Amino acid sequence: MSKYQPEIAASVLGVAAFELIRTWHDVAPELSELRGSEAGDLSMKQRLLDADILVGGVALVLGTAFAVLTRDITAMIIMLIIFALMSFWYHQVNLAEKR
């Protein structure tokens, strides 16, 4: 079995984080759509929940896989923080009063 190489793990984590962000942008509504909708619009909320479930699940699976492979939970924490920040921002935009 080869020795664990943190540089390779970091680069793979970077690619996984990029894919996580790209998947979020493919599934979630655009920010301009959210800003143009009424505050708390149910269809936008449903689209955000769909993105939460899909991307949150992917983040959890990727983070768990990295944690098992590297025997370190740092990667899982990073993946979940990226997901949480994206989700929080989009949900706050959806709930904000429109001007």
Structure tokens of 20?
A: 């996580």
User: Between the CA of residue 39 and those of 6, 58, 92, 96, what are the distances in Å?
Assistant: 44, 28, 10, 6
Whether the Cβ atoms of residue 55 and residue 20 lie closer than 8 Å to each other = yes
Model pLDDT for residues 38-88, shown as the tens digit of each residue: 887 899 999 999 999 999 999 898 888 888 888 888 888 988 999 999 999
- The counts of H helices and E strands in the chain are 4, 0
**Model-level pTM?**
0.80
pLDDT digit string, tens, across residues 19-50 = 888 999 999 999 999 888 888 789 999 999 99
Ordered by start, the domain boundaries in the chain are 6-95
